Amino acid sequence: MAEIAVDTVSELRKSFEGEVSLPGSSSYDEAVRIWNGAVTRRPAVVASCTTAGDVVAALEVARREGLELSVRGGGHNYAGNALCEGGMMIDLTPMKTVTVDVEAQRATCGGGTTWGEFDAATQAHGLAVPGGFISHTGVAGLTLGGGIGWLSRLAGLSSDNLVGATVVTADGRVLKASGDENPDLFWAIRGGGGNFGVVTEFEFGLHQVGPLVHLGLFLFSPEHGRDLFRFAREFVRDLPDESQVFLAGLNAPPEPFVPEELQLSPVFGLVVVGLGDAETHQRLIAPIKDSLSPIVELVTPIPYVDLQQMFDASAPWGLHSYEKAIYVDDLTDGVIDAIVEHQAKKMSPLSFVPIFNFGGAFRRVDEEDTAFGGSRDTGYAINISATTPSPEEFDAERSWVRDYWSALLPHASGSGGYVNFMTEYDEDRVRNSYGAKYERLQQIKAAFDPDNVFHLNPNIKPA
């Protein structure tokens, strides 16, 4: 690991309100602990920022010294982009302030906030923004790449609900980005990832949600996989915006609602969440019980904050993980065959394949309104995720992901995918994900980061 000059560190500390940490300190160890334990890069220095001014100071030093730069929001990224090797990590973890303006139905949060922290603050007022399915994910990375969650049929992606942001650009300017100020930058950060600067504050429009919502969780034995997916294909067609469907290939969780003999056995899952009234939810899920044969069901009202944390235990920190995702327009028979065949080859009980359905408000956002990498006509994102507790089993599980992905490719809308579900950034795949938007993103990248300082991401090459 490259060492950093003592003078450089002391100089940064002089103009810095946050903490500057070096290897060997506990603050360094804490800051470089990210979600994916397979990523072992070690920055030479961590600048834990408390203000936009700290980010400006850190950037200035990193650029002058020619240091590789990475940015940490929630540290949840599969590719481990929060960590650079031997350079400087700009750590936004201390910037977690969330403020809620109930009257204006707006909330702001710092660039290091997690969804759990954000939901707690907004749900205190019965309000919410679409976030991710795991509450310890960062608001920053998830929103900048898009943001798919339980509220996506109701209110679109997280990024569709962004109304403004404060961005520190590569040359150290602190800019506001919104529909009125720097609109190109605002367009680019709603899907274009961390390519355009360090976002120190996000401002979202809020929606009334909960606090109680309705859960319908069903598990099926593998031999009923085809029936389930054919059923789901029709089920989602007339789904109201107030409902969201989530499918998965997984091992049954060791939770009390799963009979002991089924715990950890391979299953398929269907989750239907109702954000409206209980009667509508009951009416919607009735055919699942009538025409399919779930081996486990959990139908219950649930606080929205608990729903947001429901899968947290399935995604613990520090394991070895790899993912590759693909978009399909529909669950055609070919897609279903590939899913059922390859799901059976999964080895690690921790690996799982979440399948996100798109519709409702997500579909009604105009294709050109944001930089989101994916068509608004897309039906599903299938995310093949490998997780193993130790490095020994990891290579085989990663091969399983790649084979599964290749089997789905002939049925997909292209080789691109949701950029937040990439562990490797093959240039063609990133370009394909953005399609016709890629050139505009390149122009904006050239305007705000011509030297590609921010390149540890699904990288947009400056025009």
Ligand X SMILES: Cc1cc2nc3c(=O)[nH]c(=O)nc-3n(C[C@H](O)[C@H](O)[C@H](O)COP(=O)(O)OP(=O)(O)OC[C@H]3O[C@@H](n4cnc5c(N)ncnc54)[C@H](O)[C@@H]3O)c2cc1C
Instruction: Annotate 180-209 with DSSP letters as a single string.
Output: SSSHHHHHHHTTSGGGS-EEEEEEEE-EE-
287-309 CB burial, b ≥16 within 10 A, e <16: ebeeebebebebeeebebbebbb
| Contacting residue, 32, 144, 310, 350, with ligand X by CB under 6 A | 144
Q: Work out how close the CB of 211 gets to ligand X at its nearest, in angstroms, rounded to a whole number.
A: 20
Q: Sign of the C-alpha dihedral, residues 266, 246, 122, 189?
A: positive
| Contacting residue, 194, 210, 253, 349, with ligand X by CB under 6 A | 194
Do 421 and 382 form a contact (C-beta atoms < 8 A)? Answer: no
Q: Single out the segment in contact with ligand X by CB under 6 A; choices: 44-52, 64-72, 232-240, 345-353.
A: 64-72
149-158 CB burial, b ≥16 within 10 A, e <16: bbbbbbbbbb
Q: Work out how close the CB of 138 gets to ligand X at its nearest, in angstroms, rounded to a whole number.
A: 2
Q: Work out how close the CB of 152 gets to ligand X at its nearest, in angstroms, rounded to a whole number.
A: 9
Question: What's the CA angle centered on 45, arms 39 and 51, to 5 degrees?
Answer: 105
Q: Does 149 bind ligand X (CB under 6 A)?
A: yes
Decide whether 150 or 268 has the Cβ nearer to ligand X: 150
Binders of ligand X in range 68-87 (CB under 6 A): 70-78, 81-82
Locus of tokens 């991401």:
457
The rounded distance, in Å, linking the Cα atoms of 334 and 382 is 14
Residue window 271-290: x/- pattern of binding to ligand X, with contact defined by CB under 6 A: --------------------
Q: Does 185 bind ligand X (CB under 6 A)?
A: no
Nearest residue to ligand X on Cβ basis: 141
| Contacting residue, 135, 244, 457, 462, with ligand X by CB under 6 A | 457
Max CA-CA distance within the chain? 71
- 424 Cβ contact list (under 8 Å, min separation 6): 79, 324
The rounded distance, in Å, linking the Cα atoms of 344 and 335 is 14
Q: Which of 153, 162, 198, 205 is nearest to 359 (CA)?
A: 153
Q: Does 132 bind ligand X (CB under 6 A)?
A: yes
| Contacting residue, 107, 217, 315, 326, with ligand X by CB under 6 A | 315
| Contacting residue, 39, 142, 154, 252, with ligand X by CB under 6 A | 142
Residues paired with residue 288 on neighbouring β-strands, in sequence order: none
Q: Does 191 bind ligand X (CB under 6 A)?
A: no
Q: Single out the segment in contact with ligand X by CB under 6 A; choices: 142-150, 219-227, 297-305, 433-441.
A: 142-150
Do 267 and 219 form a contact (C-beta atoms < 8 A)? Answer: yes
| Contacting residue, 18, 43, 141, 416, with ligand X by CB under 6 A | 141
Q: Single out the segment in contact with ligand X by CB under 6 A; choices: 139-147, 171-179, 252-260, 273-281.
A: 139-147
Q: Does 161 bind ligand X (CB under 6 A)?
A: no
Q: Does 146 bind ligand X (CB under 6 A)?
A: yes
Q: Single out the segment in contact with ligand X by CB under 6 A; choices: 135-143, 207-215, 233-241, 397-405.
A: 135-143
- The alpha helices in 248-391, defined as continuous H runs, are 278-291, 304-309, 333-343, 361-364
Q: Does 134 bind ligand X (CB under 6 A)?
A: yes
Residue 129, token pair as written in the block = 């923004």
Q: Single out the segment in contact with ligand X by CB under 6 A; choices: 146-154, 246-254, 286-294, 425-433.
A: 146-154
Q: Does 187 bind ligand X (CB under 6 A)?
A: no
Q: Which of 401, 393, 399, 434 is nearest to 415 (CA)?
A: 434
The beta strand positions in 260-414, using DSSP E, are: 266-274, 296-303, 320-328, 353-357, 380-388
Locus of tokens 């540890």:
456
Q: Work out how close the CB of 7 gets to ligand X at its nearest, in angstroms, rounded to a whole number.
A: 27
Decide whether 294 or 354 has the Cβ nearer to ligand X: 354
Q: Does 456 bind ligand X (CB under 6 A)?
A: yes
Binding site for ligand X (CB under 6 A): 35, 70-78, 81-82, 92, 111, 132-134, 137-138, 140-142, 144-149, 193-194, 198-199, 315, 420, 456-457
